[in-house]
Amino acid sequence: MKIAFVGKGGSGKTTLSSLFIRHLAVARIPVIAVDADINQHLGPALGLDEEEAAALPAMGSRLPLIKDYLRGSNPRVASTETMIKTTPPGGGSRLLRIREDNPVYEACARPVQLEDGAAVRLMVTGPFTESDLGVACYHSKVGAVELCLNHLVDGRDEYVVVDMTAGSDSFASGMFTRFDTTFLVAEPTRKGIAVYRQYKEYARDFGVALHVVGNKVQGPDDVAFLRDEVGEDLLVTFGHSDWVRTMEKGHPPRFEALEPANRRALAALYETADASYERRDWGRYTHQMVHFHLKNAESWGNVKTGADLASQVDPAFTLHEDLREGVPAEAGEAVSQPA
């Protein structure tokens, strides 16, 4: 299951994704946590100290390795240089699974121990510098995540949770269409709602399952405000959490000590995420990645690489969970199948 937490800076994306990740991990559900937020803070929110967080390998600086692995022996992707962040998998590509070891995880993922043996794998895009925010490099950092999502075959009881900035960058690339469920974290403020409206607008044409998660909600007035503004899209609300505050002081309490109301809210997130499995459509998922690839090829990719990137699309290929079984033994290559 691919889950995104988006919202405006400071709304609580990182806090709520880290709580959701803990909720899954203590239930022994396999999780890969991905930090793609501009402020890289998911590691510390999962309990890493400064030194450990700083030592995490950045996906953004391992793009050639990621591309080379995923490309596999796909004849349509002639080189890593012509592979862009939206290049879709096809026959010969290597696919990723949540429960496996592979060179991408080896290079980019690190285990984070939570409590009582609960653990997750953490991957981070790497810190964004001033220059990253002017399009190209920012794209390449988040692009590493998009490539991985587009090459992932995941089942129901295993999760990738991405902490991600809601910005125009994720709309240009197609990143925002890569999730079974998107949780938009919003404080009960006009700014929080403005981000929701923009996201909803982009999401409309792509069947994105968007749910608003209210955060820092202080009372019935706050809930009523959110309900008025977003209607049925409001899934659940979180209040101020002393547990979170204590954790931020560097002393994470045991997870079971989280306030009951916030625990119930997490259970509601899980229920919604799990239920979205029923609405999965691999055909649409593959179709959308091709759509965004062609768009990116035309707008900058062809010029940048000097190649016709439309020819990277394998028309006979549909990504599918069954590829888990249908993969040839040699190094986990994908097979083409009738679309």
Ligand X SMILES: Nc1ncnc2c1ncn2[C@@H]1O[C@H](COP(=O)(O)OP(=O)(O)O)[C@@H](O)[C@H]1O
Binding positions for ligand X, rule: CB under 6 A = 7, 9-15, 37, 39, 41, 215-216, 238, 240-241, 244-245, 248
- 35 is a site residue for Mg ion (CB under 5 A): no
Residue number with CB closer to ligand X (248 or 322): 248
State how far the Cα of 154 lies from the Cα of 144, in Å rounded to an integer.
18
What six digits make up the tokens of 158?
């295993």
By beta-carbon proximity to Mg ion, the closer residue of 39 and 302 is: 39
Minimum distance from residue 40 beta carbon to ligand X (Å) = 10
C-alpha to C-alpha distances, 265 to 23, 142, 238, 290, 328, nearest whole angstrom: 11, 29, 7, 36, 42
The neighbouring-strand residues paired with 94 are 333
Query: 237 vs 296, which CB is nearer to ligand X?
Result: 237
Question: CB under 8 Å to 309, separation ≥6 — which residues?
Answer: 82, 84, 87, 293, 296, 297, 301, 302
Question: Smaller CB distance to Mg ion: residue 39 or 102?
Answer: 39
Residue with tokens 């609960």: 118
What is the smallest separation between the CB atom of 206 and ligand X, expressed in angstroms? 23
Nearest approach in angstroms of CB 100 to ligand X is 29
Residue 14 binding Mg ion, by CB under 5 A: yes
* Residue 25 binding partner per list ligand X, Mg ion, none, with a CB distance cut-off of 5 to 8 Å that depends on partner kind: none
Going along 25-66, which residue ranges are E strands?
31-36
Q: Is 37 in the site for Mg ion (CB under 5 A)?
A: yes
The CB-nearest residue to Mg ion is: 14
Please, are residues 72 and 93 in contact by the beta-carbon 8 Å criterion? yes
Measure the CA dihedral 257/261/266/272, to 10°. Answer: 160
Taking the least distance from each CB to ligand X, the nearer of 41 and 280 is 41
Smallest distance, Mg ion to C-beta of residue 109, A: 19
Min separation Cβ 131 and ligand X, Å:
21
